[in-house]
Amino acid sequence: MELPPADDWFGDVDEEPSPRPRFGRVPVEPAGRRRPPLDRRIAVRLGAVAAAIVVVAVVIAALAGGSDAAGADRSYLSRLAAPAAASQDAGNQLSQLLASRRLTKAQLDAGLAAALSAEQRASAQAASLEPSPRLRDEQNAMLDALRLRNAGLSDLVTLFHDAEATPTKSTWPTLLSAAADRVLASDVLWHDVFQARVQAQLAHDGVHDGSAPPSTFLSDPKLATPAAMSAVLARLRAPTSPTSPSSSAVLKTGDKGAAVKAWQQELNKWLSRKGLTTITVDGAFGPATADATMRLQQAAGLTADGVVGPATRRALAAALR
């Protein structure tokens, strides 16, 4: 019996597989879970960093914005101080006129014109200011107060002029008082709305070094009453002082000027008290002025020549007293 060749003693044997290179353990991901690609993970982390930067920027901007807004409030109120003071000065002029013990029509006209002009300039200056964003409503309230002051002064100018032209009208004190009430209302609006709201807003924003400028137009509310206006009209209609240059001139037909106008105004007061027709105050000594002068002279027992001399002036002053 022949033996198989040596190479075939163990039959067909599978070759042993070559060993796996050992470079460390390869991690095995759990079933159903797979890590995102590297570029995606980087993008997520960069997004988180960007979001954090945005949050920080918003906080910084909010803090800086609050500081800027407070500075804008202070700047606006500081610039408003000048027109507020100018408006108050115009009101002081009006108060002095209404409280004056000795007042002529010329003084009243000049004083009212000056006060109105000053108030108009103050209002224009205030309206030109750009308010801070948080005080826009308060700016509108302040401008409304200044509009009331302008309207009240304008009405007083017109009404005093009309009252001089037609002194017999009995409602002048009431009408003048209503016009003065407008400037009183402006003070209420300035104090109770504008100033109060500004202070509340500043306190809310934590601004402790700013304030709304004050501005009072009519120092004494009693000056706006009908009784006070009646007293002003009485002072305006009082006889002209003998020391006045216009009261010493001799006037006659054909004369013109301020002295004639002053005589016509005084003569009209007497005519209105007597229920007689008043004359036109135009500064021209014409037939109507001469006729009214002769009526006065006749009533006083003087020679009715229509010439205004010292005796005629004294007669008029006595009649008006």
pLDDT in tens, the chain (321 residues): 555 555 554 455 555 555 555 544 545 555 555 555 656 656 656 666 566 565 444 444 444 444 577 888 888 999 999 999 999 999 999 999 999 888 888 888 889 999 999 999 999 999 999 988 889 999 999 999 999 999 999 999 999 999 988 888 889 999 999 999 999 999 999 999 999 999 998 888 787 777 889 999 998 999 999 999 999 998 888 765 444 445 567 899 999 989 999 999 999 999 999 889 999 999 999 999 999 999 999 998 888 999 999 889 989 988 887
Identify any residues that bridge with 251 across adjacent strands, giving them in sequence order. Answer: 308
Helical ranges in 6-135 per DSSP H: 38-99, 105-127
Q: What is the DSSP letter of 21?
A: P
Note the pTM of the prediction, 2 decimals: 0.56
Instruction: Specify whether the CB–CB gap between 102 and 235 falls below 8 A.
Output: yes
Taking the C-alpha atoms of residue 13 and residue 6, their distance in angstroms, rounded to an integer, is 14
Instruction: Specify whether the CB–CB gap between 211 and 199 falls below 8 A.
Output: yes
Instruction: Specify whether the CB–CB gap between 271 and 166 falls below 8 A.
Output: no
CATH number, span 245-320: 1.10.101.10
Provide the residue type at 88 as one letter.
Answer: Q
Reduced to 3 states (helix: H, G, I; strand: E, B; else coil), residue 308 is strand
Q: Which residues neighbour 175 within 8 Å (Cβ) at sequence distance 6 or greater?
A: 159
Helical ranges in the chain per DSSP H: 38-99, 105-127, 136-165, 172-188, 196-204, 226-236, 245-248, 258-273, 287-299, 310-320
Which pair of structure tokens corresponds to residue 123?
Answer: 């209002």
Provide the residue type at 63 as one letter.
Answer: L
* pLDDT the model gives residue 316: 92
Domain map of the chain by residue range?
A: 59-236, 245-320
Taking the C-alpha atoms of residue 299 and residue 295, their distance in angstroms, rounded to an integer, is 6
Q: What is the DSSP letter of 33?
A: -
Closest C-alpha to 265, from 98, 117, 112, 109: 109
Taking the C-alpha atoms of residue 137 and residue 152, their distance in angstroms, rounded to an integer, is 23
